[in-house]
């Protein structure tokens, strides 16, 4: 028997359906798990994870919108994880040169990070998010009740992005994770509601100042220069790769003399206490290839996000060869 659809998300979606012609694009896992209490609306189940982020699936989403005659006043509603929100957002930015999208993120990773900021995209030529647009969602409906059904692996993938916000942007969040990590690991809903709001508000305030990533929005890439490379080389999920990327950033920042030893040790201790490995993945020559394709690279250098303390990140142009030397020498 299917589970009842989370109530606060249901009410918010029904209110949109009452005023706009919409299509629902739903992660297949959510489609199997939950009753969908929405009548008179077209529903298209989609695969979960990075498989959805292709031109082929983008065409299917656009074709579904065209088949039911969605117009400029219509809306695409995405119910699923970060990859599905990326792909549906991308299609929404293209259909009739851009129509409303509403994102209903159902994973921790998408509720604290991926759904916010207006970035959409698909993977291309084996490179993550190589093709994409900026297209702000009309609304984001984050309901922590979805998190109860996440696999442990998926849940911990989301905690990777929570660690990014704590380590790079918010001393109070870092202290909360240190003090309450057992409750967080056990998915305490009250603490999670607080964490989701905190992370969303950090990202939203940075994006408001710099939507197109010219200045401070780049800081949100903390842990992602190496994280994206580890993700593609090791075939691990995004949040786990980001944790490895955070360890790399902390080590490089410490070696550069930017991050004090005490803060460096607190970061490693917290990552370990949260249940992650504190070993940095071994060197492979392919790392250089992926970092050279990082969106923040310029010639032989990248705008690398260094830590100058807990809750303090800044951008520093560094040669790729120097980064690899600092991390692996």
For the stretch 295-309, pLDDT in tens is 667 778 899 999 999
Query: What would the DSSP string read from start to end of 106-117?
Result: -SHHIIIIITSS
Q: What is the mean pLDDT of residues 55-84?
A: 96
Q: Taking 80 as the threshold, does the pLDDT of residue 43 lie above it?
A: yes
Q: What percent of the chain has pLDDT over 70?
A: 99
Domains of the chain: 7-148 (3.40.50.1970), 152-328 (1.20.1090.10)
Residue with tokens 């031109």: 55
Quote the tokens at residue 69: 């005659």
* pLDDT band at residue 267 using 50, 70 and 90 as cut-offs: very high
> Which residues are CB-contacts of 168 (< 8 A; sequence separation ≥ 6)?
219, 222, 223, 305, 307, 311, 312, 313
Count Cα neighbours of 84 within 13 Å in the Cβ-side half-sphere. Answer: 28
Q: How confident is the model at residue 268 (pLDDT cuts 50, 70, 90)?
A: very high
User: In the predicted model, is pLDDT for residue 158 greater than 90?
Assistant: yes
Name the burial class of residue 167, with classes exposed (0-12), middle (13-18) and buried (19+) by CB atoms within 10 angstroms of its CB.
buried
Contact 144, 193 (CB under 8 A): yes
User: 0.95 cut: is pTM over it?
Assistant: no
Rounded to whole angstroms, the Cα distance separating 311 from 164 reads 9
Is 75:42 a contact under the CB 8 Å cutoff?
A: no
Average pLDDT over residues 126-146: 92
């Amino acid at each position: 028997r299917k589970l009842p659809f989370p109530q606060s998300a249901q009410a918010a979606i029904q209110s949109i359906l009452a005023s706009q012609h919409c299509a629902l694009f739903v992660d297949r896992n959510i489609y199997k798990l939950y009753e969908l209490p929405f009548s008179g609306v077209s529903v298209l189940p989609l695969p979960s994870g990075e498989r959805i982020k292709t031109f082929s699936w983008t065409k299917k989403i656009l074709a579904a919108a065209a088949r039911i005659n969605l117009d400029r006043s219509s809306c695409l509603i995405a119910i699923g994880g970060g990859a599905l929100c990326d792909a549906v957002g991308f299609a929404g930015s293209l259909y009739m040169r851009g129509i409303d999208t509403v994102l209903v993120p159902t994973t921790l990773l998408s509720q604290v990070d991926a759904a916010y900021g207006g970035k959409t995209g698909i993977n291309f030529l084996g490179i993550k998010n190589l093709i994409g647009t900026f297209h702000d969602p009309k609304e984001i409906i984050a309901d922590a009740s979805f998190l109860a059904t996440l696999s442990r692996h998926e849940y911990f993938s989301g905690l990777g992005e929570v660690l990014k916000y704590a380590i790079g942007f918010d001393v109070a969040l870092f202290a909360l994770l240190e003090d309450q990590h057992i409750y967080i690991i056990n998915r305490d809903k009250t603490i999670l509601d607080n964490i989701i709001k905190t992370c969303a508000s950090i990202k939203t305030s940075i994006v408001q100042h710099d939507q197109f990533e010219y200045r401070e929005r780049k800081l949100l890439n903390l842990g992602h220069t190496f994280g994206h490379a580890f993700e593609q080389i090791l075939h691990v999920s995004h949040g786990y790769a980001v944790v490895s990327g955070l360890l790399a950033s902390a080590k490089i920042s410490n070696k550069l003399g930017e991050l004090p030893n005490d803060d460096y040790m607190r970061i490693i201790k917290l990552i370990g206490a949260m249940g992650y490995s504190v070993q940095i993945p071994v060197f492979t020559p392919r790392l250089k290839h992926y970092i050279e394709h990082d969106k923040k690279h310029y010639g032989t250098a990248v705008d690398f996000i260094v830590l100058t303390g807990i809750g303090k990140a800044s951008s520093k142009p560094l040669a790729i060869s120097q980064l690899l030397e600092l991390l692996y020498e």
